Structure 1
Amino acid sequence: MAGLQKNIAVLGAGQIGAVIAGMLAAQGHRVTLADASRARLASNAGPAIPTRVVDAADHDALRVFLAGQDIVVSACPYFLNNGIARVAVETGTHYFDLTEDVATTAYIREIAASAEVALVPQCGLAPGFICVLGADMAARFETVKTIKMRVGALPLYPTNALRYNVTWSVDGLINEYCNPCEIILDGRPVLVPPLEGVDSVMIDGVAYEAFNTSGGLGTLTETLAGKVRDMSYKTLRYPGHAEIMKLLLQGLELAGDRDTMRRILDRAAPFTRRDVVVIFVTGVGERNGRTEEDSIVLRYDGRPELGAIQLTTAAGCVAMVELFLLGKLPDRGFVRQEDASLSDFLSTRAGSRLVKEARSSETSDLVGLASKRAAA
């Protein structure tokens, strides 16, 4: 796209959408933040960002709104994204979203096959940034044996029975706890059950459990099938969380009553910005004639004005928008997260912020990549 200043619509004025809008506006784009709720717009939109009341489920209204936009970023619940993507194709608007939902991504890929615009789903943290990290880890070895990716968005101070606070979409959280999970086993993509495969993990002296959840790998299982022997993605939580969620979703069958499950989480795990995001990627493979292990560990701490999950998800999405505008991603059709190289990703304004704000001694590898790219 010629010129970098664009008209960009951000749909969904929740905790993530509002931060995405602010980041894009700070880069000089003409951003409009839209939501069906006037109250949510008034509460979350920054003072300098224009807002508009638009119901994303009303496709006629959405069509009118997107007609004047170069790019739309959907920060809406996953179940609205099929319609938004379809309208974006009709209006010639390039499309980005944050979905972890596998079926939604499959639909977007289908309509992208004949689209004249780019459709870039699964931006954010996991899927999103974690897929870029995973692809880079695989490229570090001549032959890859295993890649393990672990991501947790957690309260800094767990005080409730769930040892968890909601820091992003409740609908997305329930979805990833209920749907089958893709991994690579013996070189082939396979499905495994959610909330299973519980491992104990110790990172920087803190004990976590890790278990299967859906959607975190995005399209990476397809991309690396046959190139990696074993690859898995698991969510990090404080110990004991998986068993409670299994009781609720499977034992009490609330997976089939998501409205009730949503009410339980709203009451028992209230939103907090005092959160922490932990990212752990480790790979084992052959390099220079011997078996070696490599790893990346990143931690982000939330603060009252900006939660860690808000920062990492919004920055992951905005970095992909930046790369697209710089011509470093395909300009039409279906775009995967791993189409972005880690060095390019980290050289963006949003990506460099992820390097700067990481709280871990293990960021030296990322800093080196970012510095090398900036000097090139």
Structure 2
Amino acid sequence: MTSQCRSITILGAGHIGFAMALLLARSGDYDVLVADRDVARLKAVAALGLQTLATPDEAALQKAIHGRYAVLNALPFHCAVDVATQCVQAGVHYFDLTEDVQSTQAIRALAKGARSVLMPQCGLAPGFIGIVGNDLARRFDELHSLRMLVGALPRYPQGALRYNLTWSTEGLINEYCNPCEAIVDGQATTVAALDGLETFALDGVEYEAFNTSGGLGTLTETLAGKARQVDYKSIRYPGHCAILKLLLNDLRLRDRRDLLKEIFEAAIPTTEQDVIVVFASASGLRDGRLVQDSYSARIVGAEVTGQRLSAIQRTTAAGICTALDLVAQGRLPQQGFVGQETVALQDFLGNRFGQAYATECAGETVAA
């Protein structure tokens, strides 16, 4: 528990911002202010009895940031660098959910000499999956391969895509279009999004997985020179990748992302009946033996203080709230850039917010 009630600003009152506000307010240790330029979005947060602030311009945004203990940024990824810059100038801790590699690199550069924490990529992937991957990697004397797969999926898929929108459409398109960081044959490199298609079954359900951007966070830097193969893939139901390649490559919609966003949001329904599937596997040498360790989790929505949260709301909000909590408790560095792999998996799962993952996960070791 924190020793005092700390003032927190959440930027963005969408589904994830709402979940973050709910979790932090329920803890009793944070004085929560939620800011958004869309006044209509703030109504749901205000109904929880929390402070809200409309931020239609730069002056209002600065008011939301200055004098706070920390800012949790749930805005679209293209807002990340500007908000982080203002937090550095104000000496305010900064956390976000971005999957955008360039934004994270820019924030890392900002952190040099900063007197506050800058901790981007605090969601599910990037975020929790990097913590899991690093925990698996540290178990080996010699790490050969590390595979990480994550899916935010509808529980009742329909249509040819067998997919529903559960989070940011802009972030989704970013993952499908941008180069993907990986380690191949011991060298840090990039691979193409949508490549590396594989199929597998988990708990009797058939899935496919393929390369997407941003899920590894800074893990490729951490494991450079320590692993032969490291990659991250998104999980979908079979058939999804083929349709994406038609849209993005054959119809060249990767060059018209605004149009692609419009098509997705007009044609693909949103759903709160979702499931998060996490699977990570590592192999290598331990005590001279070839061993494989794995980790899996399946997480669905739940009711929190009378409010129904979807699986993606639970997991994403749990990630960033845990990061904040560990900094507030002094269990993470107190200034500069903090990567997700700085967080110990045991500390994450033992945290009051991180327990959203702990109750529904499993791991095993297989000796070859």
TM-score, normalised relative to structure 2: 0.94
Check conservation: 1:160, 1:269, Cα contact below 8 A: no
Map 1:108-257 → 2, pairs under 5 A: 108-257=107-256
The CA distance in 2 between the partners of 1:4 and 1:320, in whole Å, is 17
Change (3 A) 1:330 1:278: same
Q: CA deviation at 1:253?
A: 1.3
2:293 aligns to what? 294
Deviations 1:234-288 (A, max 9, x none): 0000011111111111211111211211111112222111001000011101112
1:5 aligns to what? 5
Letter in 2 for 1:330: P
2:335 aligns to what? 332
Check conservation: 2:211, 2:232, Cα contact below 8 A: yes
Deviations 1:69-126 (A, max 9, x none): 1100000000011111111111111100000000000110111112111100000100
- For structure 2, the residue ranges without an aligned partner over 5 or more in a row are none
Deviations 1:43-70 (A, max 9, x none): 3555222111114xx3332112211311
Letter in 1 for 2:350: S
Letter in 2 for 1:317: I
2:325 aligns to what? 322
The CA distance in 1 between the partners of 2:280 and 2:46, in whole Å, is 34
2:42 aligns to what? 41
2:79 aligns to what? 80
Q: CA deviation at 1:330?
A: 1.1
2:313 aligns to what? 310
The CA distance in 2 between the partners of 1:244 and 1:31, in whole Å, is 42
Letter in 2 for 1:129: F
Check conservation: 2:34, 2:45, Cα contact below 8 A: no
Q: CA deviation at 1:13?
A: 0.6
Map 1:44-63 → 2, pairs under 5 A: 45-55=46-56, 58-63=57-62
Check conservation: 2:73, 2:97, Cα contact below 8 A: yes
Change (3 A) 1:364 1:228: closer
The CA distance in 2 between the partners of 1:274 and 1:167, in whole Å, is 9
- Greater mean deviation of Cα atoms: 94-103 or 269-278: 269-278
The CA distance in 2 between the partners of 1:21 and 1:364, in whole Å, is 35
3-state secondary structure, aligned to 1:350? coil
The CA distance in 2 between the partners of 1:307 and 1:257, in whole Å, is 30
The CA distance in 1 between the partners of 2:43 and 2:244, in whole Å, is 34
The CA distance in 2 between the partners of 1:204 and 1:45, in whole Å, is 41
Change (3 A) 1:318 1:46: farther
The CA distance in 1 between the partners of 2:47 and 2:23, in whole Å, is 11
Letter in 2 for 1:237: R
Check conservation: 2:21, 2:45, Cα contact below 8 A: no
The CA distance in 1 between the partners of 2:251 and 2:286, in whole Å, is 48
Check conservation: 1:127, 1:217, Cα contact below 8 A: yes
The CA distance in 2 between the partners of 1:110 and 1:243, in whole Å, is 37
Letter in 1 for 2:31: R
- Greater mean deviation of Cα atoms: 335-344 or 265-274: 265-274
2:326 equivalent to 1:348: no
Q: CA deviation at 1:168?
A: 0.5
Aligned length: 359
The CA distance in 2 between the partners of 1:11 and 1:47, in whole Å, is 16
The CA distance in 1 between the partners of 2:183 and 2:364, in whole Å, is 29
Check conservation: 2:295, 2:364, Cα contact below 8 A: no
1:69 aligns to what? 68
The CA distance in 2 between the partners of 1:45 and 1:166, in whole Å, is 25
3-state secondary structure, aligned to 2:195? coil
- Greater mean deviation of Cα atoms: 251-260 or 191-200: 251-260
Q: CA deviation at 1:363?
A: 5.8
3-state secondary structure, aligned to 1:209? strand
Percent of pairs with identical residues? 48
Which structure dedicates a bigger proportion of its chain to helix? 1
Check conservation: 1:15, 1:44, Cα contact below 8 A: no
Change (3 A) 1:44 1:238: farther
Letter in 2 for 1:21: A
- Greater mean deviation of Cα atoms: 100-109 or 249-258: 249-258
Q: CA deviation at 1:364?
A: 8.4
Letter in 1 for 2:22: G
- The root-mean-square deviation of aligned C-alpha atoms, in Å, is 1.5
3-state secondary structure, aligned to 1:295? strand
1:373 aligns to what? none
